[in-house]
Structure 1
Amino acid sequence: MVGIVVVSHSERAAEGIAEIAAEMAGDTRIEPVGGDGKGGIGTVPDAIEAAIDAAAGIDAEDGSDAGDENGGDPDGSDPVVVLVDLGSAVMNADIAVELSDAEAVIADAPVLEGAVNAAVAATDASATVESVREQAEAARDIEKL
């Protein structure tokens, strides 16, 4: 299984986007993360890393893995696709990906539409981190009118 992390400068925006994507996600882990950790607008690498680990099935308490036996890393964790809203969220997500023990990639996609596409793609039994990222990035071409 492939997990998904939604990163926004607003905690409420991240939660709302994750809520919408979860409607299409089945059992996929979707973790929202946002805000500066003090109730304000921003992003924090440590919080993003924790969300990546949670989406990968890595237990924050003891570092153990609860990953899927049908994919993911050899250590048992699941790969993760990270979606970000803007600017510094990309930089902080990049840092978090480097810090995390999980296999994680950042999708160059619109955060809401990309999260929904990623959620749908992640429900496929043969989904890979690359196939989920590709579907998230395909959301750039969605026309609304």
Structure 2
Amino acid sequence: MTVSLVIVSHSERLAHGVAELAGQMAQGEVTIAVAGGSADGSLGTSIDKVMDALQQANSPDGTLVLLDLGSAVMTTEMAIEALAPEQAERIKISSAPLVEGAVIAAVEASTGSNLDEVAQAAEGAVMVPKVRDKESE
């Protein structure tokens, strides 16, 4: 098994898009579950969707959760509290940027890295520049 990922977003389409991109980069070797949007499909978060995603991604090697905005953290924390302690202790919430963090985490997980290594790699995504500074060239 490998570390799995859960993508939590206020938008169902965004969650699926991030999971699709990360999954392609990891060449499908990592389980990536999504919890996007509220229960009625509008923008928001749903504790039931997060709990379902955490169950789908449940891995003995651990699960890293990547999220978009603040209330997604609260919803995810409530969902984790409702899980059995032995599952909850194998879940980490990441403060990494959603897209970059998910891609890097998926690739890192696909190499067999442990949960701490996957989480650390995702967190490092914040340091990856998107645009080169022309003044430093």
Q: Under TM normalisation by the shorter chain, which class is it? A: 0.7 to 0.9
Give the Cα–Cα distance (whole angstroms) in 2 for the partners of residues 124 and 97 of structure 1.
26
TM superposition outliers: structure 1 runs of 4+ over 2 Å: none
Helix, strand or coil: the match of 1:23?
helix
- Residue in structure 1 matching 2:111, options 110, 118, 124: 124
Which consecutive unaligned segments of at least 5 residues does structure 1 have? 57-66, 73-77
Which residue does the alignment assign to 1:144?
130
Which residue does the alignment assign to 1:85?
68
Which residue does the alignment assign to 2:57?
55
Is the CA contact (8 Å cut-off) linking 1:97 and 1:105 kept in structure 2? no
Alignment coverage as a number of residue pairs: 125
- Identical columns (%): 42
Which residue does the alignment assign to 1:32?
34
Give the Cα–Cα distance (whole angstroms) in 2 for the partners of residues 100 and 116 of structure 1.
26
1:8 pairs with 2:3: no
Relative to total residues, which structure has the larger helix share, 1 or 2?
2
Which residue does the alignment assign to 1:99?
82
Give the Cα–Cα distance (whole angstroms) in 2 for the partners of residues 21 and 39 of structure 1.
23
The normalised TM-score by structure 1 is 0.82
Give the Cα–Cα distance (whole angstroms) in 2 for the partners of residues 41 and 133 of structure 1.
27
Which consecutive unaligned segments of at least 5 residues does structure 2 have? 132-137
One-letter amino acid of the structure 2 residue matched with residue 48 of structure 1: V
Q: Which moved more, 1:31-40 or 1:98-107?
A: 98-107
Larger Rg: 2
